[in-house]
């Protein structure tokens, strides 16, 4: 009896297997440096709101697109702003669900990961999208396999239904353990992401929930507390590579090294993208403005970015870019002149604006 109990306890323990390669260490170092620059840049509230909103919209688009959602990034953006778009009800609901979860991620847990939280997250992500509504927020009661939608070929067989509750309890216990907390947040998030996908605890929506779990870990570990980083763009940019690396893990050894190399590189690419934009937005000419930080609207911020890219901008460019009248464009530029961000150069047809 004691032997059977010990065996059961051993089976319920989760002990990830991986090693730090030169690539992982190098990427983690670059991530730390880029993150430090982003979080210590002279942001102002409106800039932060814009970056956070953009990251949430891009994440919602990429994470749902990976699993077959057909909405474009522009449609997702329109939907997030309450505009009507031409799309199926399911595609729209998947995106709206994902946006809602990311917008409220700080309220979804108390700083720790609990089984009830993950079940709630899955329910929020899938409500109104599954054929059987009773599958929302509950572990699967029937066996499922992961297959290629085009060929119909089975590419992964997850654990049995009976094993799911125990495996999930073991994963959650590990995520909250001192061992996991001692790891770099990116490594912990990558490990949790893979193990969740491997267990495949739900009938559908496993990929989205796994990616939210990784995001949640990074949020609570203080890595992305401001939600500037869109990790899902990297996976969506090459979906075959994402699935290929997931499937490449040897199910006998469960060595996660190669997967973690891929995952950490994705975080590095995501943060590098944000860093480049932050550098543009936090240019010296804005940082050293006499009045300190300058509160720009999202439209004004995009105008500044356009000038940095092209060195100048004309009234006609502003009108076309934002689909507004020339009078409204002139009013917008006069505000930036008044803030001492730009100055007018030239006259007549050659008139344009440059950064001060």
Map tokens 């057909």 to a residue. Answer: 70
Claim to verify: residue 292 and residue 336 sit in the same structural domain: yes
- Any idea what the CATH number is for the domain that residue 106 is in? 1.10.3290.10
Claim to verify: residue 224 and residue 316 sit in the same structural domain: no
Which pLDDT value is given to residue 227? 87
CB atoms within 10 A of CB 66: 17
Counting the structural domains of the chain, the total is 2
pTM, full prediction: 0.78
Output the CA torsion 165→131→149→57 (10° steps).
Answer: -80
Claim to verify: residue 322 and residue 219 sit in the same structural domain: no
Which of 247, 281, 315 is the last residue in one of the domains?
281
Which pLDDT value is given to residue 283? 61
Which of 255, 281, 307 is the last residue in one of the domains?
281
Claim to verify: residue 71 and residue 120 sit in the same structural domain: yes
Which pLDDT value is given to residue 186? 97
CA distances (Å), origin 306, targets 191, 256, 303, 327: 39, 42, 5, 19
CA distances (Å), origin 1, targets 49, 166, 170, 334: 58, 19, 22, 82
Claim to verify: residue 145 and residue 170 sit in the same structural domain: yes
- Write out the residue range of the structural domain in which residue 307 sits: 284-355
Q: Which pair of tokens denotes residue 14?
A: 């989760």
Claim to verify: residue 200 and residue 255 sit in the same structural domain: yes
Query: What is the biggest distance separating any 2 CA atoms in the chain, rounded to whole angstroms?
Result: 92
Claim to verify: residue 20 and residue 89 sit in the same structural domain: yes
Which pLDDT value is given to residue 6? 40
Q: Which pair of tokens denotes residue 300?
A: 């004004």
DSSP state of 229: -
Which pLDDT value is given to residue 8? 44
Claim to verify: residue 50 and residue 112 sit in the same structural domain: yes
Which pLDDT value is given to residue 48? 78
Q: What share of the chain is helix, strand, coil (3-state, %, to 5)?
A: 60, 5, 35
Claim to verify: residue 7 and residue 156 sit in the same structural domain: yes
Give the C-alpha separation, 308 to 168, whole Å.
49
Which pLDDT value is given to residue 293? 58
Q: Which pair of tokens denotes residue 199?
A: 């267990």
Give the C-alpha separation, 330 to 255, whole Å.
60
Q: What is the pLDDT along the chain (356 residues), one digit of tens a residue?
A: 444 434 444 457 899 999 999 999 999 999 999 998 888 776 666 677 778 888 999 999 999 999 899 999 999 999 998 889 999 999 999 999 999 999 999 888 887 889 999 999 999 999 999 999 999 999 999 988 877 666 667 778 899 999 999 999 999 999 999 999 999 999 999 999 999 999 999 999 999 999 999 999 999 998 987 888 898 989 988 888 998 899 899 999 999 999 999 999 999 999 998 888 887 766 655 555 544 556 778 788 888 878 877 788 999 999 998 899 999 999 999 999 998 888 999 988 889 999 87
Give the C-alpha separation, 141 to 202, whole Å.
9
Smallest CA-to-CA distance from 206 within 194, 218, 217, 215 is with 194
Which pLDDT value is given to residue 277? 80
Claim to verify: residue 270 and residue 295 sit in the same structural domain: no
CA distances (Å), origin 124, targets 197, 202, 208, 230: 18, 13, 11, 20
Claim to verify: residue 293 and residue 248 sit in the same structural domain: no
- Any idea what the CATH number is for the domain that residue 302 is in? 1.10.10.10
Which of 263, 281, 299 is the last residue in one of the domains?
281
Map tokens 């216990």 to a residue. Answer: 173
Claim to verify: residue 53 and residue 8 sit in the same structural domain: yes
Q: Which pair of tokens denotes residue 130?
A: 């599954």
């Amino acid at each position: 009896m004691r032997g059977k109990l010990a065996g059961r306890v051993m089976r319920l323990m989760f002990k990830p297997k991986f090693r730090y390669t030169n690539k992982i260490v190098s990427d983690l170092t670059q991530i730390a440096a880029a993150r430090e620059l982003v979080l210590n840049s002279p942001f102002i509230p409106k800039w932060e709101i814009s970056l956070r909103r953009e990251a949430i919209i891009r994440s919602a688009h990429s994470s749902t697109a990976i699993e077959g959602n057909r909405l474009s990034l522009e449609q997702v953006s329109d939907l997030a702003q309450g505009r009507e778009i031409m799309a199926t009800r399911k595609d729209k609901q998947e995106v709206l669900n994902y946006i809602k979860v990311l917008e409220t991620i700080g309220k979804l847990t108390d700083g720790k990961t609990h089984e009830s939280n993950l079940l709630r997250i899955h329910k929020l992500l899938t409500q109104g999208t599954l054929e059987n509504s009773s599958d929302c927020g509950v572990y699967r009661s029937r066996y499922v396999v992961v297959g290629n939608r085009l060929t119909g070929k089975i590419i992964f067989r997850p654990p049995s239904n009976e094993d799911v509750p125990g495996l999930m309890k073991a994963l959650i216990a590990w995520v909250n353990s001192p061992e996991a907390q001692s790891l770099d947040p990116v490594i912990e998030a990558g490990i949790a992401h893979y193990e969740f996908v491997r267990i495949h605890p739900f009938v559908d929506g496993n990929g989205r929930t796994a990616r939210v779990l990784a995001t949640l870990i990074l949020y609570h570990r203080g890595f992305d507390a401001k939600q500037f980083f869109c990790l899902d763009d990297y996976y969506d940019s090459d979906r075959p590579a994402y699935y290929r690396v997931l499937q490449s893990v040897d199910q006998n050894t469960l060595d996660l090294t190669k997967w973690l190399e891929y995952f950490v590189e994705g975080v590095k690419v995501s943060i590098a993208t944000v860093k480049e934009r932050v550098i543009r937005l936090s240019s010296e000419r804005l940082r050293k403005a006499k009045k300190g930080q300058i509160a720009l609207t999202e439209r004004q911020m995009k105008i500044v970015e356009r000038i940095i890219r092209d060195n100048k901008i004309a009234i006609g460019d502003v009108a076309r870019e934002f689909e507004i009248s020339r009078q409204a464009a002139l009013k917008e530029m006069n505000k930036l002149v008044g803030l001492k961000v730009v100055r007018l150069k030239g006259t007549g047809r050659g008139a344009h604006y440059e950064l001060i």
